[in-house]
Chain A
Amino acid sequence: MVLFNTTLPYLLSGISVGGQYALIAIGYTMVYGILRLINFAHADVFMVSALCMVYAVTTFQIPLYIAIPLVVALTVLLGFAIERVAYRPLRSAPRMSVMVSAIAVSYTLQNLALYITGGLNKNYPSIPWLSDSITVLEATTKRVTVVTPFLTIALVVILVMFIQRTKIGTAMRAVAKDFETSRLMGIKVDSVISMTFIIGSFLAGIGSMLFFTNYPGVIPTAGAMPGMKAFVAAVFGGIGSIPGAVLGGFVIGICESLIKGLDTILVNTGLLQSPLELATFSDAFTFVLLILILVFKPTGLLGEKIADKV
């Protein structure tokens, strides 16, 4: 019972942050699936989305019920614009050039954020209902912790249905396999690619709200760590696979949170006399996990072998 009570808060927070990683990871995995590109700018889109929220609510005093949809829309617009400006002109360039372009966008966004914020830590506005405290089986937490996994699963189910059942979704799967033949079908490949960026940024925008409600400090590099974890989640689950990205997100979130809590859990249950400071290694652990999975299953948990496109 002591074990359960001390573990539960860490488990809850792990599931929650895992859902947030999952929402970002989908953007990485979908763009990779269609362009074979690791969109380094994705983490910064996530950060810019948070800054937009800060300025909308704190500086411009826009009421939340307008600010939330507005910020999601701006995030989508940013993702869409990045593809148009930085990736589309390089469509037939070598993949490495596109990668460099992605890194350039990433730093541009960070520098821009630095310029605008002056490097100050901006406080993310609290969203009333989400940041209320609630009690789950005697553990006290913010409501966002409980809402995140359900919202994540709901969004993923909708997304998977969209991709499996609709004509545009089928076209996305076709384009992911073969640009040229898709063109022969009359599919506008560029529009389908835009669609991918729109969906990915939309989910990153939602993820951003959930994440920064839990961790309310926004700095220009605030996207880096969650972005990196989400990217690892995507690779872990099998890059290109949406269910894989979601599974990866939850696994990494939960493991990371449990490691952070391991000292407390072990001490409280009497298995350890004094803490070992294991929490320090929680980030490194993520990468050890990644290396292990890639050694034993190079395509990730749910990934299939992705043949290079002709």
Chain B
Amino acid sequence: MLRIEDLRVNYGGIEAVKGITIEVPEKEIVTLIGANGAGKSTTLRAVAGLVRPAAGHIYFLDEEITALPSHSIVAKGITMVPEGRRVFPDLTVLENLKMGAYLRKDNLKDDIQWVYDLFPRLRERSWQLAGTLSGGEQQMLAVGRALMSRPKLMMMDEPSLGLAPIIVRGIFEIIKEINRQGVTILLIEQNANIALHTADTAYVLETGRLTMKGVGKELLNDEAVKKAYLG
């Protein structure tokens, strides 16, 4: 569904991503794990059109989307839950959800209900400013907001960041549920343990290069992965 081919991204003179190739098959959960600074976020940002790749190609549903503007990429069915949630703090929960559906012109009622059914906590807080939500609730809102565009592919940048383990488990249950409902997922994580348990396929990224690829649960038993990422 999504194919990233030999992607390279530079910031100024620094190479953050040094030629990586990733395949995300339809309906799967694919994860990209790696330490802080490995280039995970940069990869997603390139797909989302937030940074221009220095080289390489990105295809979505057999169509090249490399360096398209972000709004065209959203329109094609790719959404992203950014690192650190980035909800709009002085918009209400409902307004945040509506911003997620910015490009849509049809009725949003059913989708708002769908998101509220996935995250009942958000329904109770519909009129609250997003900035007043707890970290876990903000993450739910960031996911809900991304779903409002009715994506085919949802990219998630470290959804577990800064959240208590019990909340992280809850969020990952929902991620699996969303996937069961037909949304393909590209998940990046530093929390390798939960990511590998959740994903069908996993890639390991080290300082801008891929070092490993495998089935998620198999990598859990890989000695090198255990040593480097599972402590």
A184 and B74 CA atoms in complex are apart in Å by 7
Q: Flag if B88 contacts A174 (CB, 8 Å).
A: yes
User: Which residue from A178, A180, A185 sits with its C-beta under 8 Å from B102?
Assistant: A185
Please give me the residue from chain A that is nearest to B87 by CB atom.
A181
- Which residue, of B50, B70, B89, has the highest number of chain A Cβ atoms within 10 A? B70
A180 and B82 CA atoms in complex are apart in Å by 9
Which residues does chain B contribute within 8 Å of A182, judged by CB atoms? 99
Within 8 A of B (CB), among A159-190: 167, 170-171, 173-174, 177-178, 180-188
With A171-B102, A174-B99, A181-B82 in contact, do A187 and B88 touch (Cβ < 8 Å)?
A: no
With A173-B90, A178-B88 in contact, do A184 and B48 touch (Cβ < 8 Å)?
A: yes
Please give me the residue from chain B that is nearest to A175 by CB atom.
B88
B86 interface contact, C-beta 8 A: yes
Instruction: Count residues on chain A whose CB falls below 8 Å from chain B CBs.
Output: 16
A171 and B74 CA atoms in complex are apart in Å by 16
Q: Flag if A186 contacts B103 (CB, 8 Å).
A: yes
A182 and B80 CA atoms in complex are apart in Å by 11
User: Which residue from B49, B50, B79, B99 sits with its C-beta under 8 Å from A170?
Assistant: B99
A167 and B82 CA atoms in complex are apart in Å by 22
The SS class assigned to the A binding surface is helix
Within 8 A of A (CB), among B66-102: 69-71, 74-75, 79-80, 82, 86, 88-91, 95, 98-100, 102
Q: Flag if B50 contacts A186 (CB, 8 Å).
A: no
Which residues does chain B contribute within 8 Å of A183, judged by CB atoms? 48-50, 70-71
B160 interface contact, C-beta 8 A: no
**B: contact size bracket:** 20 to 34
Minimum distance in angstroms from A167 CB to a CB of chain B: 7
With A167-B102, A185-B99, A187-B99 in contact, do A173 and B91 touch (Cβ < 8 Å)?
A: yes
A184 and B146 CA atoms in complex are apart in Å by 9
Q: 0/1 per residue, B144-185, Cβ < 8 Å to A?
A: 010001000000000000000000000000000000000000
Which residues does chain B contribute within 8 Å of A178, judged by CB atoms? 86, 88
- Which residue, of A178, A180, A181, A185, has the highest number of chain B Cβ atoms within 10 A? A185
Q: Flag if B75 contacts A181 (CB, 8 Å).
A: no
Minimum distance in angstroms from A173 CB to a CB of chain B: 6
Which residues does chain A contribute within 8 Å of B80, judged by CB atoms? 184
Minimum distance in angstroms from A177 CB to a CB of chain B: 5
Which residues does chain B contribute within 8 Å of A171, judged by CB atoms? 99, 102
Minimum distance in angstroms from A91 CB to a CB of chain B: 13
Within 8 A of B (CB), among A86-137: none
A178 and B70 CA atoms in complex are apart in Å by 14
Please give me the residue from chain A that is nearest to B78 by CB atom.
A184
A187 and B98 CA atoms in complex are apart in Å by 12
Minimum distance in angstroms from A34 CB to a CB of chain B: 13
Minimum distance in angstroms from B27 CB to a CB of chain A: 23
Which residues does chain A contribute within 8 Å of B95, judged by CB atoms? 170
Q: Flag if B98 contacts A167 (CB, 8 Å).
A: yes
A68 and B178 CA atoms in complex are apart in Å by 56
A158 and B179 CA atoms in complex are apart in Å by 43
Which residues does chain B contribute within 8 Å of A185, judged by CB atoms? 74, 99-100, 102, 145, 149
Which residues does chain A contribute within 8 Å of B75, judged by CB atoms? 186
Within 8 A of A (CB), among B102-129: 102-103
User: Which residue from A173, A174, A177, A180 sits with its C-beta under 8 Å from B50?
Assistant: A180
Other A-B pairs beyond A181-B82, A187-B71, 20, CB < 8 Å: A167-B98, A170-B99, A171-B102, A173-B90, A173-B91, A174-B91, A177-B88, A177-B89, A178-B86, A180-B86, A184-B48, A184-B50, A184-B74, A184-B79, A185-B99, A185-B102, A185-B145, A186-B75, A186-B102, A186-B103
Q: Top 5 A-B pairs ranked by shortest CB distance?
A: A186-B74, A186-B103, A183-B70, A181-B86, A186-B71
A–B complex contacts, Cβ < 8 Å, 9 sampled: A170-B99, A177-B88, A178-B86, A180-B50, A182-B99, A183-B70, A184-B50, A185-B149, A187-B71
